[in-house]
Amino acid sequence: MEEPIRLTECDPNFIQEVAEAGGKNVQLCFQCGTCSGGCPTAYAMDYTPRQIIGMVNLGMRNEVLKSGTIWVCSSCYTCMTRCPRGVEITKVMAALKSIAIKSGIETKNKKAAAFYKTFVEVAGAYGRLFEPMLFLKFALKAEDSLTGSVARLLKDAPFGLELTKKGKLAFMPSKVKNMQQIKKIYEKAMGGSK
Amino acid sequence: MKLGYYPGCSLESTAKEYDMSVREVFKALGVELVELEDWNCCGATAAHSVDYLLSLALPARNLAIAGKQNLNIIVPCPECYQREWSASEALAANSELLEKVNELLGNGLQYEGNVEVKHPLDTIINDIGIEKLSQNIVKPLKLKAVPYYGCVIVKPPRKKKFDSPENPVSMDKILAAIGVEVLPYDLKTKCCGGPVMLASEDIMLKLSYELLKKAKAAGAQCVATACPLCHLALDAKQINIEKAYNEKIDMPVLYLTQLVGLAFGIAPKKLGLDKNIVPVEKLLKSL
Ligand code: SF4
Ligand code: SF4
């Protein structure tokens, strides 16, 4: 963070927005750094978990939503288990992803955002996750060009083939029977909170 | 004992051998598993990353179905398990949220807050007991293994926690009971990187490589796991890990229930042992 923090550009409602998206107790953080110390993916983050929580507290909405950190988080819950102040750090990370996706902000990790969106799309279409469709749609969404998508699919092909040989990838999706109900749940949940 | 069974999506596909071995082992233990009718995907880590309410409504639909069938549920996949219990606890603590979620479920299916969510480790240790488990053993397994729990079987600690989030021992106890020499393994709850496998593969390769390397250094003949995503990372992706780090690892990764099934004398094929990617033949022969 070389740039000075301009409080006038900060969003005082950000803590509330994050809490409503399912990440509570941010304001209880006393910046001890326990979360960062045990985070298995901190080495690949641009801001550590402690920094992210501090930035949410300051209302640095833009910087936080644009960070690579939130997409690198593997939802392992180590930080949240250890936090001495009960900050729901892992849930804050998920909440931030959802806010970033909804506000359509340009993220540093397009692939991860594409992954979560695709997962929900595929699970919503069948009621259950049909993995071959996830791989296919993700490859199309994660890359900027068709060549990129094809290259990704080819790279993952041996892996998919190995699973298929072992009878572990289905050709047909396992589907929920009451799809009408599933569609309604997805529509109402996502429509209602936009 | 009769329990509602929520397999979840992985157990129908990439983790078929987990599904097969869970069903076999619980049948042997005299527990009737009734698959939930028309269950749906719990949303895993993705649902909350897209929408909070959705991340509660999806597991809640399964809870509501179980409630209607008057069943408590057992959930082998830790990710699904964590989604289901955290939805049940969040909805138990907040009636406003419960009302909102029930509105999403619509008429005809309402969650009444009456369903218990259990992981097989919990059921085996606390409801069945090591003693009963031991009575079923016909062939103690003479092998050395490390117990790998991964993240969300024990993290974050729930209100009704059944094991320590930092140093869980339930899998250790089960393995010891079936004759396995359980080796010390301080990475037992360290993340394998599974959830970021597709989007940030290099992170997953690094984390899983460290897990496998440590298991090997400990002298393990196999890694025992109870998570489909950990299994996918450590087993199916082991070849990618070997390539990335230019090192032969050759470490079989077995589901805990596959090992228990073997000790019960159940045929390897019935436990899906032909579906593991890293070859297990040598290990099976040595038993
Ligand atoms: S562990 Fe909790 S209190 Fe400490 S820095 Fe992290 S969020 Fe703040
Ligand atoms: S949940 Fe995310 S931020 Fe927290 S320790 Fe795990 S990877 Fe790091």
**A193 — pLDDT class (breaks 50, 70, 90):** very low
Side-chain half-sphere exposure of A100, counting CA atoms within 13 A: 29
Domain with CATH 1.20.1050.140 in chain B: 2-118
Give the pLDDT confidence score for residue B72 in this predicted structure: 97
Peptide bond into B147 cis (omega under 30): no
Give B2-118's CATH code, choosing from 3.40.50.2000, 3.40.718.10, 3.40.50.970, 1.20.1050.140: 1.20.1050.140
- Closest to A69 (Cα-Cα) out of A90, A57, A52: A52
Asked whether the beta carbons of residue A112 and residue B9 sit closer than 8 angstroms, the reply is no
Q: List residues near ligand 1 (CB under 6 A).
A: A 29-35, 50, 53, 83-85, 87, 89
What is the DSSP code (8-state) at residue B10? G
- pLDDT higher than threshold 90 for residue A157: no
Centre of ligand 2 from the C-alpha of residue B138, in Å = 42
Centre of ligand 1 from the C-alpha of residue A192, in Å = 32
Delineate the domains of chain A, giving CATH numbers in brackets.
7-103 (1.10.1060.10), 110-189 (no CATH)
Question: What percentage of chain B carries pLDDT values higher than 70?
Answer: 100
| Angle (CA) A122 B39 B162, round 5° | 105
Cα(B153)–Cα(B156) distance, rounded to whole angstroms? 8
Residue minimizing CA distance to atom 4 of ligand 2: A79
Centre of ligand 2 from the C-alpha of residue A75, in Å = 5
Cα(B105)–Cα(B101) distance, rounded to whole angstroms? 6
Residues B191-216: tens digit of each pLDDT = 999 999 988 999 999 999 999 999 99
Domain with CATH 3.40.50.11810 in chain B: 139-286
- pLDDT higher than threshold 70 for residue B6: yes
Cα(B251)–Cα(B172) distance, rounded to whole angstroms? 19
> Which of A75, A95, A127 lies at the smallest CB-CB distance from B195?
A75
The class of domain B139-286 in CATH terms is alpha beta
Does ipTM come in above 0.85? yes
For testing the chain A interface, which of B196, B271, B275 should be mutated: the one with the most A CBs within 10 Å? Answer: B196
Give this prediction's pTM.
Answer: 0.95
> Which of A71, A159, A167 lies at the smallest CB-CB distance from B16?
A167
- Closest to A44 (Cα-Cα) out of B29, B109, B203: B203
**Ligand 2 in contact with A49 (CB < 6 A)?**
yes
- Closest to A115 (Cα-Cα) out of B269, B41, B201, B227: B201
- pLDDT higher than threshold 80 for residue A192: no
Asked whether the beta carbons of residue B165 and residue A81 sit closer than 8 angstroms, the reply is yes
